[in-house]
Structure 1
Amino acid sequence: MDTIVRIQPDDLFAFPGLHAGVRVGHLLFVSGQVPLGPAGELVGTGDFRMQAEQVFANLGSVLAAGGSGFDRLVKLTAFFVDISRDLPVYREVRDQYIVADHAPASSVVQVAKLFQPAVWLEVEAVAVCGSTR
């Protein structure tokens, strides 16, 4: 039976009662990452690029803490409040972290709003971690 390991990197803001990721066997499920700094402060108010960069930095922290990396992503889901405005910048930032040869299955979704009005992006992921032998 696989053990469930809850992941919460020290450099990530911890939402009460939630974990940044959950590892089960060789799979790591990453909770939706938003543009918050380590103290819970919003990064990039009014600046989508800064928000996207913080989201991917946070995602990288969870992946590393769970024994994985961007090259081991198998699914990426991004939630936007304005996909027509922000998708091109999202792709530019994403491509700094994810090489085309290692691109995961992906979905992008526009939503009416996220948990705070000034938050314009949330990204969740599934990755392979550890040895798969």
Structure 2
Amino acid sequence: MKIAEVSKKFDISSDTLRYYERIGLLPHVSRNKSGIRDYTEEDCKWIEFVKCMRSAGLPIEVLIEYVGLFQQGDETIEARKELLIEQRNELKRKMEETKKILQRLDYKIDSYEHALLEKEKRLKRF
């Protein structure tokens, strides 16, 4: 698959795909005899993984470390697992923090709704 097709499929710019490749987030992407990137299904799985992890807030540095460990082979399975556990725990912490923020926003919105209702009642009395 050409870079434009992959870009469209995953809604990622071609520049971002090239950047991910340059910094090591994507294991070696093969090229055809003309030098044009030719993404395989395996490459697409990596892109999907990276996109998912980035949308969850994982730092690029962590993903680069993960890919590097992956490329070292099965002797790094435990290290990869630990890295993912750490990131899951961090994501859970952020979710709890976001939940508290959401609750505070809901409280403020509710208090404004209550204030508006009270204002409406006062205006109807006159």
TM category, shorter: under 0.3
Using CA pairs under 8 Å that are at least 6 residues apart, name the structure with larger relative contact order, 1 or 2: 1
The two structures have a TM-score, normalised by structure 1, of 0.25
The two structures have a TM-score, normalised by structure 2, of 0.26
**Comparing both structures, which one devotes a greater share of its residues to strand?**
1
Specify the structure having the higher radius of gyration (Cα).
2
